[in-house]
Structure 1
């Protein structure tokens, strides 16, 4: 067991003094081997690290209902819903492009995919919002 006061250096060792790095006794730099550099490994996005739409939900909710917030479970459900809807629209738009033997996905293809996937009222609202965002983007250039 340690004796009380053993935390301080003993007189035989001498006091601990910080030395100037230039004056400290160290092997010559030419003799010292350089540290091996580790290669940076690319991180693979796992299921928990995939990009999500969760950062946009509070911003949108603040515009509609200022005092409300969402729980983690609600954000997860909304994220799954948005991802599923996005995949459905993208799949429909891609199949339309394949059917017309094209190689470029255009705005009209996405509009047609939205029309096929979404109900009528939701499609008209989404289309008007998309047009408004497109006009805002083009005018900001």
Structure 2
């Protein structure tokens, strides 16, 4: 018989209670539904739960007008530490916005939302293109896989525009070589 290994999950002291219906599809508010806590569920699943002590509260943040607030992190020798660089599409989005609407600006919060949107679409396209290359037993993602991934992910008219813009960009790149 195979050996059973224990799994250990760390949870905080706050344990949520949830009601589960006896019949699938029934509402959880039914009087016959079962109330399970995280501990009961762990017994059913065969896992061990360890209670962690509640996190210690840190010192309160200095007030806005306080002179003790340090704006930049410093090392022990007194030298200023370099900030880690964050990659984003914000500068490119700003340039495109100025090409389309020269008199319009964009908030940094909106830029952050657009940045996460671009990253999400990029990951979806890359993931789908990777799957397509894997299905066809190829180790390289080419423009053909990207084009097919676009057609699968985007609606019809939007996919046509994306494919034409992508084709235009690829031909511009190959002609400049």
- TM bucket, shorter chain: 0.5 to 0.7
Counterparts of 1:49-88 in structure 2 under 5 Å?
49-88=85-124
Unpaired runs of at least 5, structure 1:
1-42
Structure-2 separation of matches of 1:78 and 1:55: 12
* Aligned equivalent of 1:123: 159
3-state SS of 1:116 partner = helix
The separation in 1 between residues aligned to 2:93 and 2:110, in whole angstroms, is: 10
CA offsets per residue over residues 14-59 of structure 1, 9 Å max, x none?
xxxxxxxxxxxxxxxxxxxxxxxxxxxxx996xxx43111110111
Other-structure match for 2:171? 135
Question: TM-score, normalised to structure 1's length?
Answer: 0.63
Per the alignment, residue 106 of structure 1 pairs with 142
Residue ranges of structure 2 left out of the alignment (5+ in a row): 1-81
Q: Which structure shows the higher strand fraction?
A: 2
- How far, CA to CA, are the matches of 2:161 and 2:94 in structure 1? 21
The alignment's TM-score, normalised by the length of structure 2, stands at: 0.51
How many residues of Structure 1 are paired with residues of Structure 2 in the alignment?
Answer: 96
Task: Report the alpha carbon displacement of residue 139 of structure 1 after superposing the two structures with TM.
Answer: 2.0
Q: What is the CA-CA distance between 1:130 and the residue it aligns to?
A: 1.1
Higher helix share: 1
**Structure 1 runs (4+) greater than 2 angstroms displaced:** none
Q: CA RMSD in A?
A: 1.7
